[in-house]
Amino acid sequence: MELQITWFILWSVLWAVYFMLDGFVLGTGMLSGMLGKSDMEKRVLVNSVGPVWNGNEVWLITAGGATFAAFPTTYALMFSYLYTALLLLLFALIIRGVAFEFRGKVDNPSWKLSSDVAIILSGFVPALLFGVAFGNIFEGLPMDGSGYHGSFLALLNPYGLVTGVLFVLLFAVHGALYASVKTNGELSSRARRMAGNLWIPLLIVAVVFLGYTKFATRLYDNYFKWPVLLLIPVIAVAALIAVKYFTVKDAMFKAFASSCVTIVFVTFTGVAGLFPSLIPSSIDPAYNLTIFNSSSSQYTLVIMTAVAVIFVPIVIAYKVWVYRVFRARVDEKEVLSNSEAY
């Protein structure tokens, strides 16, 4: 297997893992205003993601770093063409971190209210922007030999917005399921009901997305060429149905695990359709940025592969350890007794 293909697979996995992990943080944040009916319940929600949110962002940095090192041309042009959207995304993630860390530092209603609003918006905005960005990449950007011919507002096209709404709903359901698993009592029950209520809109938007993709993109070409790839969206659909089944059965950990599988395989569905492109051109396929015409040298890829083989398992082992240490549910008693609580 050529190293460009190896790194395309790894690139896909890094994005899928990031969306799976940070997706529930974004979802919990955007729903915190509806799930948390009191200051204490909001503190419980923040503390449920407090020990892991910054570690989850490592996967975003790693995905960006892998793009930079393995496909530097794609990295340079993506951050040029999508500069405004990515800058807004960066600001939103910075605001989220500040709101999480400093919400409980000042015992002032106005301060807490502004922090709560920041947490909600910094959950919703990145989810929407990630979806819009990937939707436009799936559709293809208006680029040719003379550069990019679009604008930030042009990214807010119907297909991009449908993909953005899909991401928002995926992460919202994911966050509600996580909150139901990590909290107790009425807050957990409220989160479970929220996940059930959001599942139907998610299913509708997912169906619209799959249908719209046939007309707006060329993602399905690879699936017609290699029918075995159809197993990827089939797993995504089966996992989405399992989310509803386990939610109805009140098997919330299984529902959350199914949501993890759904997000991973929705991501794989998109990137498998892109292959071998990373950013297609909507003007002329001759200007597609692919894993071959935008990759680093073979020597660089060999060194990076060796580094990845050594360090990626270490990162995975560390993340497994962190989630094991903080696997217990969060409740009001724990928040009050913990001097380092958020």
For the segment 151-174, what is each residue's pLDDT rounded down to a tens digit?
Answer: 889 999 999 999 999 999 999 999
For the segment 222-262, what is each residue's pLDDT rounded down to a tens digit?
Answer: 999 999 999 999 999 999 999 999 999 999 999 999 999 99
Q: Determine how many CB atoms are found less than 10 A away from the CB of residue 265.
A: 22
pLDDT of residue 336: 60
Helix (H) or strand (E) holding 144: strand 143-144
pLDDT of residue 203: 97
Residue 145 within a domain: yes
Among residues 253, 210, 205, 202, the alpha carbon closest in space to that of 232 is found at 210
How many separate domains does the chain show? 1
Q: Determine how many CB atoms are found less than 10 A away from the CB of residue 228.
A: 7
* Helices 109-139 & 158-182 angle (0-180, nearest 10): 130
Residue 131's pLDDT band (cuts 50, 70, 90) = very high
Average confidence (pLDDT) over 3-11: 94
% of the chain surpassing 90 pLDDT: 81
Is the model's pLDDT at 115 over the cut of 60? yes
pLDDT of residue 9: 95
Q: Determine how many CB atoms are found less than 10 A away from the CB of residue 114.
A: 13
pLDDT of residue 312: 86
**Which amino acid is it at 70?**
A
Chain centroid offset of residue 13 CA? 12
Residue 92 within a domain: yes
Q: Residue 41: which residues within 8 A CB-CB, separation 6 or more?
A: 35, 187
Residue 78 within a domain: yes
Is the model's pLDDT at 1 over the cut of 60? no
Beta strands (DSSP E) in 173-324 are 277-279, 289-290
Is the model's pLDDT at 79 over the cut of 90? no
- Structure token digits, residue 334: 């724990």
Phi and psi of 68, rounded to 5°?
Answer: -60, -45
- Structure token digits, residue 78: 């993506």
Is the model's pLDDT at 299 over the cut of 60? yes
Average confidence (pLDDT) over 77-96: 92
The pLDDT mean for the chain works out to 93
pLDDT of residue 105: 84
Residue 229 within a domain: yes
DSSP conformation letters of 9-22: HHHHHHHHHHHHHH
24: domain range? 3-337
Residue 342 within a domain: no
Residue 145's pLDDT band (cuts 50, 70, 90) = confident
